[in-house]
């Protein structure tokens, strides 16, 4: 359970963006949660209100969107998506695939005012 560390890192970045943009508050933060990101959506949602309390981020909405694995097959050349964490090409079932997305937890965007 390292989601509090992750949420703290999200808050650090959101505060930096707030200062850089000269905005006064954050309305929402959108995260992309990759299948292989090692993070749990519910735990993120649980930690967020605790992390933002008494900070300029208080009241911001956290949106978490799941992101599938993006696989590129080195055998048949096709790109496919996978919602489970198996590294198998959806087209030819080869295991010779590269992961091109869905590995990380990413701050996709923010809405500021």
Partner 1 sequence: MCETCGCGEASAHVHAHPLAPPSALGSGQAPTLTLPPAPSRHIELGRAVLADNDARAADNRRWLAERGVRMVDLISSPGSGKTALLEATLDALAARIRVAIIVGDPETDNDARRLRGHGAEVRQVETAGACHLDAAHVRRHLVELAGGGLDLLIVENVGNLVCPAAFDLGQGRRIALLSVTEGEDKPLKYPALFHRADAVVITKCDLIPHLRWDRAACLANLRRVRPDVRVIEVSAWTGQGLEDWTDYLAGAP
State the nearest-atom distance from the C-beta of 7 to partner 1, in Å: 9
Nearer to partner 1, 9 or 49 (CB): 9
- Smallest CA-to-CA distance from 12 within 57, 77, 71 is with 57
Nearer to partner 1, 52 or 105 (CB): 105
Measured N-to-C along each axis, helices 3-21 and 41-52 cross at an angle, to the nearest 10 degrees, of 50
Q: Would you tell me which residues interact with partner 1 (CB under 8 A)?
A: 1-2, 5-6, 9-10, 12-13, 17, 21, 23-24, 27, 31, 36-39, 85-88, 95-97, 99, 104-113
Task: Quickly count: other Cβ atoms within 10 Å of residue 112's Cβ.
Answer: 17
State the nearest-atom distance from the C-beta of 89 to partner 1, in Å: 11
Task: Quickly count: other Cβ atoms within 10 Å of residue 75's Cβ.
Answer: 13
Nearer to partner 1, 37 or 78 (CB): 37
What is the 8-class DSSP label of residue 93? -
């Amino acid at each position: 359970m390292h989601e509090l560390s992750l949420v703290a890192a999200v808050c650090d970045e959101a505060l930096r963006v707030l200062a850089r943009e000269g905005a006064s508050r954050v309305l929402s933060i959108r995260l992309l949660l990759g299948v292989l990101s090692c993070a749990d959506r519910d735990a993120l949602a649980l930690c967020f209100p605790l992390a933002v309390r008494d900070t300029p981020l208080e009241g911001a909405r956290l949106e978490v969107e799941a992101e599938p694995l993006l696989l590129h097959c080195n055998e048949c050349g096709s790109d496919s998506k996978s919602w489970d964490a198996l590294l198998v090409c959806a087209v030819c079932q080869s295991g010779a695939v590269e992961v091109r997305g869905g590995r990380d937890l990413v701050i996709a965007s923010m809405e500021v005012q």
